[in-house]
Amino acid sequence: MRKPFIAGNWKMHKTVVEAVDLAVALKAALADVSTMDLAVCPTATALEAVSHVLTNTNIGVGAQNMYWEDSGAFTGEISPLMVKELATYVILGHSERRQYFGETDATVNLKLKAAIRHGLTPIVCIGESLAQNEAGETVPFVGNQIRGAFAGISQQDAGKVVLAYEPIWAIGTGRTAMPADADRIIREAIRDVLRDLYGEATAQAIRVQYGGSVKPGNMADFIVMPEIDGALVGGASLKVEDFAGIVSNAAQALKA
């Protein structure tokens, strides 16, 4: 059984002071949750302070990106060694990084290998654009993103990866995928490709989150889907009531 995993991607929001306030509030609000893995991914400048607040709690900390080299003349970048001092997770290949910062399946693959090499748990994002969705290209496109991300990754290492299916047209738009559609795409574009690459057991072990306008009011509809193992939450992870509401509604729905 895959343990549900809900993570907040704070994107480029929150100063260090604001991030600490949110982390302190989340620590209190989510202290009783044990049936799910939880994490928050603050901006790089707030990682140290937030990880300090959340040490020895049930909330993990993740970075939103990193470079693949351990060190060197790469101005502005953060290495896996640096992330590892402060976080256990790292989001890789978010669509905003692909869209605005030139990331490709090939660079995501290099980052994924670096994360695994350093014992970080990667959350690899994949998902199609609106044009691709409307053209019926979602399954082949997302399947290719999976093949690209996992190129050269062993079966044993593949099992350590978390995936986040985030249709680009659903991110920050208030327009979510239909849960049944997201479930089908995860099965056909992700689970089937992983089975082809690594066999049934690994394909079934890898957790796949849904991301894109997740809110307290729609979380239950996603989490009950057989292929959806949690959520990567953007906007609604920035307010303690919303993120705590998402987590408690998911827990309720799974209990029912």
Q: Indicate the residue among 40 and 214 with the shorter CB distance to ligand 13P.
A: 214
Binding residues for ligand 13P restricted to 5-34, rule: CB under 6 A: 9
171 contacts ligand 13P (rule: CB under 6 A): yes
Task: State the SS3 of the chain.
Answer: CCCCEEEEECCCCCCHHHHHHHHHHHHHHCCCCCCCEEEEECCHHHHHHHHHHHCCCCEEEEECCCCCCCCCCCCCCCCHHHHHHHCCEEEECCHHHHHHCCCCHHHHHHHHHHHHHCCCEEEEEECCCHHHHHCCCHHHHHHHHHHHHCCCCCHHHHCCCEEEECCHHHCCCCCCCCHHHHHHHHHHHHHHHHHHHHCHHHHHHCEEEEECCCCHHHHHHHHCCCCCCEEEECHHHCCHHHHHHHHHHHHHHHHC
233 versus 251: smaller Cβ distance to ligand 13P: 233
The one segment of 20-28, 79-87, 197-205, 234-242 that binds ligand 13P by CB under 6 A: 234-242
Shortest distance, CB of residue 175 to ligand 13P, whole angstroms?
Answer: 9
Regarding 235 and contact with ligand 13P (CB under 6 A), the answer is yes
Residue nearest to ligand 13P (CB): 234
Round to whole Å and give the CA distance between 106 and 92.
Answer: 12
- Is 74 or 101 the residue whose CB approaches ligand 13P more closely? 101
> Contacting ligand 13P (CB under 6 A), which of 234, 243, 247, 251?
234
Q: Does 172 help bind ligand 13P (rule: CB under 6 A)? A: yes
- Binders of ligand 13P in range 38-77 (CB under 6 A): none
Of 172 and 199, CB closest to ligand 13P: 172
Binding-site size, ligand 13P (CB under 6 A)? 14
Whichever of 43 and 202 has its CB closer to ligand 13P, that residue is: 43
**Sign of torsion over alpha carbons 20, 212, 68, 88:** positive
Given 233, 240, 246, 251, the residue binding ligand 13P (CB under 6 A)? 233
**Span 84-123, contacts to ligand 13P by CB under 6 A:** 94
Among 63, 112, 203, 214, binds ligand 13P (CB under 6 A): 214
Check if the beta carbon of residue 35 is closer than 8 Å to that of residue 254: yes
Catalytic residue numbers?
94, 166
Residue 213 touching ligand 13P (CB under 6 A): yes
State the burial class of residue 194 (Cβ atoms within 10 Å of its Cβ: 0-12, 13-18, 19+). Answer: buried
Piece of 24-32, 102-110, 188-196, 228-236 that binds ligand 13P (CB under 6 A): 228-236
Interface residues with ligand 13P (CB under 6 A) are 9, 94, 166, 171-172, 211-214, 232-236
